[in-house]
Amino acid sequence: MITTLPLVSQPLALCELAPLDQTVQIVNEESQLTEKDVEYYFNTAVDDYEQIPGWVDVNYVISCINIKEHWLAIAADMRKCKIYVFDSMPNYVEQKLVDEALQMPARCIASLAIAIGVNLHSDHFTYGPWPIRRSKTTLQKGRSLDCGIFCSKFVECLVTGSDLGCLTMPNMKLFRQQYVLELWANKYFW
C-alpha cells in the first residue's frame, strides 16, 4: 500500500510568488496542512511501513528498471545472492548496457542486506558483487511500445502467483486501461 497526503479536487494557491530575497506571504490558509493531516499521514505511513516484511523476511526483492527507454524487471534472490533480469524484448537493449546499469546494485546490494540485518555468516550469503543472470525466455513477440506494461504485469504475476499466460499482445490494451482506471480511482494512493 502506498500512502499519500489527502488530495484536493483542484489546485489551491498556497502562497504568492516573490523574488528570492523577499519573504513569502501565505495567501490561502485553508490549503495548509493541519496538525490532524500530518498526524494521519505519519500514523498511516509509519504503521503501514512497520507491517511490511523486510528484506530479511523475503526470498526475492523485485523491481523494474528503465534502460534507454526500455523497461526490464529485476529480482534479487536473497537466498542465492544473484540478480535475475527478465526482459520482454531481450534484443532491444544490449547485454553490455544492462550489465553496466546493474553494476552499482550488484556491488551495493550485499552492503544494504547486511545493514538491514541479513545474516552475514550464512553459508548462502555472498559479500561482494552478486552475479547478474539474464533470462533467456521472451514473453513479448515482436517490437512494440508495451515493455512497461509487460514489465509491471510480469512483476504483478510473480508477486501474486498468477499465470503468466495472460501476458499476450492482445491483452496489453486491456492492461493499460486497467492501470489508468486504477490510477483514476486512486487505488494506489489510499
* Residue 159 belongs to some domain of the structure: yes
Instruction: Specify the number of domains making up the chain.
Output: 1
pLDDT at 76: 86
pLDDT at 88: 80
As given in the structure block, the three cell numbers for residue 72 are 526490464
By CB neighbour count within 10 A (0-12 exposed, 13-18 middle, 19+ buried), where does 135 fall?
Answer: middle
* Residue 152 belongs to some domain of the structure: yes
As given in the structure block, the three cell numbers for residue 166 are 495472460
pLDDT in 10s for each residue of the chain, 190 residues: 333 333 333 333 333 434 444 444 444 444 455 566 555 555 555 555 566 666 666 788 888 888 888 888 888 888 888 888 888 877 788 888 888 888 888 888 878 877 777 766 777 777 788 888 888 766 655 556 778 888 888 888 888 888 888 888 888 888 888 888 887 777 666 5
* Residue 111 belongs to some domain of the structure: yes
Q: What pTM was estimated for this model as a whole?
A: 0.62
Evaluate whether 52 touches 71 at the Cβ level (below 8 Å): no
* Residue 41 belongs to some domain of the structure: no
Rounded Cα–Cα distance for residues 2 and 46 (Å)? 11
Intra-chain end-to-end CA distance of the chain, in Å? 7
pLDDT at 20: 44
pLDDT at 110: 79
* Residue 19 belongs to some domain of the structure: no
pLDDT at 43: 54
Number of other CB atoms surrounding residue 156 within 10 Å: 14
* Residue 148 belongs to some domain of the structure: yes
pLDDT at 98: 85
pLDDT at 10: 35
pLDDT at 174: 86
User: Hey, which residues does 132 pair with through a beta bridge?
Assistant: 83
Enclosing domain of residue 102 = 55-184
* Residue 14 belongs to some domain of the structure: no
* Residue 163 belongs to some domain of the structure: yes
CATH number of the CATH domain containing 101: 3.40.395.10
